[in-house]
Amino acid sequence: MFEPISATSFVAVYLAVLVVSVGVAIVTAPPGEYVSFHFSRAGKIFVKQGLLIASL
């Protein structure tokens, strides 16, 4: 299955996911929405991805 990953790798992947999530949330959100909406949406994606990564 998956090899155990170090804490450093975990943090690096987690930050990469955050950056991508914020970008995707901003790009895919309908025009005219507030920035806070983008970040709350990215935050939800970030949490889901973080849980997914943590479960590996």
Q: Give a yes or no: residue 1 inside a domain.
A: no
Q: Give a yes or no: residue 2 inside a domain.
A: no
Question: What is residue 33's predicted lDDT score, i.e. its pLDDT?
Answer: 59
pTM of the model: 0.41
Mean pLDDT of the chain, nearest integer: 72
pLDDT in tens, 30-55: 665 556 665 677 777 777 777 776 66
Domain carrying residue 18: 7-55
CA distance 32 to 7: 39
Q: How far out from the chain centre does Cα 17 lie? A: 4
Structural domain tally of the chain? 1
Q: How far out from the chain centre does Cα 45 lie? A: 5
Q: Give a yes or no: residue 28 inside a domain.
A: yes
The answer to whether 49 and 21 have CB atoms below 8 angstroms apart is yes
pLDDT band at 12; cut points 50, 70, 90:
confident
pLDDT tops 70 at residue 29: no
| Alpha-carbon distances, residue 46 vs 3, 9, 25, 43, 54 (angstroms) | 22, 16, 10, 5, 12
